[in-house]
Each structure stands twice: as C-alpha cells, then as structure tokens.
Structure 1
C-alpha cells in the first residue's frame, strides 16, 4: 500500500506532476486551422488533443451552474476564469490514460499561463503557434457554417481583438524561452501539416 508504483494513480494534481506528461500548447487566432492540424498530429504522433473550447462547450451542454456562467462569459466575448478551464483540462488529462497532450486554445493570457504552470507544475515542451492573417481567419470562419453561435461577424471581430490583446504576451513569454514553433497557417492544409510534422519529428529525435 502506498508504494511509489501506486502513487501516479492517485489524485489529479499529484498524478499529473509525477507522470510528467509532455504538453504542447497550440495557439492561433480563431479560424487559424488549429483543430484540423491537431487531428493530424493525433493520428501521426499519438497525442491526445484537448481543446479548451470543446471542454468548455461540453460543460455548457451539461446544464450545470458552472456551464451557465461559462456560456454568459463567452457570449460577452470574455475569457473564462483560469481555474475553471485548468480543472476541466486536468480532469480530461487524468481520464485519457495518455502522457502526451496537445492543449489547444489555452493559455489565452498571461494569467492563464502562470496559473496552469503553478497548479499543474507542468511547463510545455513547446508552443505551436499558427500564424494567420485576420482577413484569412475571418474568411474561413464565415465560410465554415458549423452553426456555432459565436460565428457571426461581430463576435468574430471581438474574438480577434481578445486574441491579440491577451494571447500575444503568452507567445512573447515562450518566445523569450526559445519554446515557440511558428507555423505559417494561411497555406493549404497539407503544406501546413508538412511544417507541423517537421517540428514534431525533430522533437522526437531530440529525446
């Protein structure tokens, strides 16, 4: 009982730190193609893809009090409190059984970043940043017609503004630590994935 072998299975906080999973943050503006490329990375490199947005939307669908609060904040274009998103991410990581994660759309700001590292004791292996012009992202979002209520022009522009103001300092922070891998995301999907593959292949070779 209580041996070192058992320890990694206990508790969300402890287990994440003890297993020391590999975490890659995936950042880029709305419509930069993060979701599509994450699916390719999962298929080719065996990562588990955790989308902060998907986890939040699932919480909204659950009808919980937490979900209602999240829905109201998203409608107003505000950022959901760090502890709410981190808790959802930790839960998903613990339940996945994997030790390699793509965390998509998080951290959205410096406070998110600091809170994630503080709570989980995990620093990302690197940050995959999908760089795409606002015009191209807007064109993609308006064309995808997925029935998401946040895909109208006013909300899209609000989301761009929030992304620029909040996420760029996170990218700058990791850039200063040599952890940002910039991907030119306005190209066709196949070309973008060739660049992504090169990043993950060189990471595997470095290990």
Structure 2
C-alpha cells in the first residue's frame, strides 16, 4: 500500500520543469489580517494566480482520489499532513496553470513547510508579503465578521494567534534575514492597505522591466 507521499508524487516528476520559470510570492499574516481580500485585489490588478494550500488540500479530499482519501484519514486521526504532500499539490497546481505568477496564501506555515517547498520545487520566492496586524485588531475583525465560521470564537481565535506567532513568525524572520520580506501595516483601512500593496508590486514590476 502506497504512502500519502507516494500518492502525492503520482503525476509529478521531481522539481518543476526548467523551461517554465515560476514567480512565487508567499502571502503571510495572522488570522483576520486581510490576506484574502488583498490577494483578490492583487489577482485583479497584477494578473497573479491565487493558490491557497488549505483550499488545495480540501479540493483533493473532495476529489475522492487515493491521495485525497489518505489526506482525509490523516486529518481525522489528528495527524499533520506532511509538508511534502502540500508542496506537491501546490506544484501540480502551478504546472497545470497557464500562468507563471503565483500568490501562495497562508503557506509556508512553518520552517518545515518552507524547507520542503524550496527542496521539492527548487523555487525561492521573489518575496514574502507580510500583513502585519495587531492581535487586538485581528480579534475585532474576526469577531465582527458574520461568515458563520465555527472557529470565530474568542478561545479558538487566541489559539490561532498563538500558532501563527510560534510557527509562521520564524519563516518571516528567515526571509527577513535575506531581505525578502515586504511588510504591510494591515491595521489600516482596506483601501490604504491595498495602496501600499500596489506600490510594492508596481516597484517590483518596474525593476523587472529595467532588468
């Protein structure tokens, strides 16, 4: 019987093909920092494809594939899905897309994810877009939004904050040490946040044109 990693490997051969060069931007921020809203704006204005690791895992489970069944079983058993499995799903989504520019949202969640992504795909992100928002503001937003989400209660919100700080901040610090973090003040109104985002993407695009 194959492992979940074996199943994930089916149809994906090693690292991404050399002839197709992908541009990847990691989008990180705590729960309620506004990542989803801003990713939609970036897609619309700058032509990126938005990939969410969580959405890809859910879609794989829903597909009923061998890989999806294994992922579902691991989640049911309270196990963490191996980083390599999530990376393979992201890799496949990139290979199957007609685009070569991707926003990867909410990933890497930790240092292990980060290392697996770079090792498996051979891709180093262009930069990390970090939505920096105070815990008070994120809490206020999550409690006020009416999306019927079971995880938007105060205890769960605090747990999610703690997980983000413990797991994701080391990733931001790692890329920060390489000069690859673009930090946005995400406490501001949506329009002001996007103005800052737009300035970063415009600047990066201009550098590429000049280069």
TM-score (norm 1): 0.86
Residue 60 of structure 1 deviates from its aligned partner by 3.9
**5+ residue gaps, structure 1:** 1-9
The residue that corresponds to 2:161 in the other structure is 160
In structure 2, C-alpha distance between the alignment counterparts of 1:188 and 1:86, rounded to whole Å:
33
Match of 2:136 in 1: 135
Q: Deviations over 1:6-54 (max 9, x none)?
A: xxxx955444544120000000001100010000000000000001122
User: Which residue matches 1:65?
Assistant: 69
Structure 2: any 5+ residue segments left out of the alignment? 1-10
2:86 maps to what in 1?
Answer: 85
Looking at structure 2, the residues matched to 70 and 202 of structure 1 have their Cα atoms a distance apart, in angstroms, of 42
User: How far apart, CA to CA, are the structure 2 residues paired with 1:55 and 1:70?
Assistant: 15
Conservation of the 8 A alpha-carbon contact between 1:59 and 1:66:
no
Aligned residues: 195
Q: Distance in 2 between matches of 1:61 and 1:188?
A: 36
Listed one character per residue, the Cα deviations across residues 159-178 of structure 1 (whole Å, up to 9, x for unaligned) are 11111001111101111110
Q: Give the conservation status (yes or no) of the 8 Å contact 1:133–1:186.
A: yes
- Contact 1:12 / 1:91 at 8 angstroms: preserved in 2? no
How far is the alpha carbon of 1:94 from its aligned partner? 1.4
Q: TM-score scaled by structure 2? A: 0.84
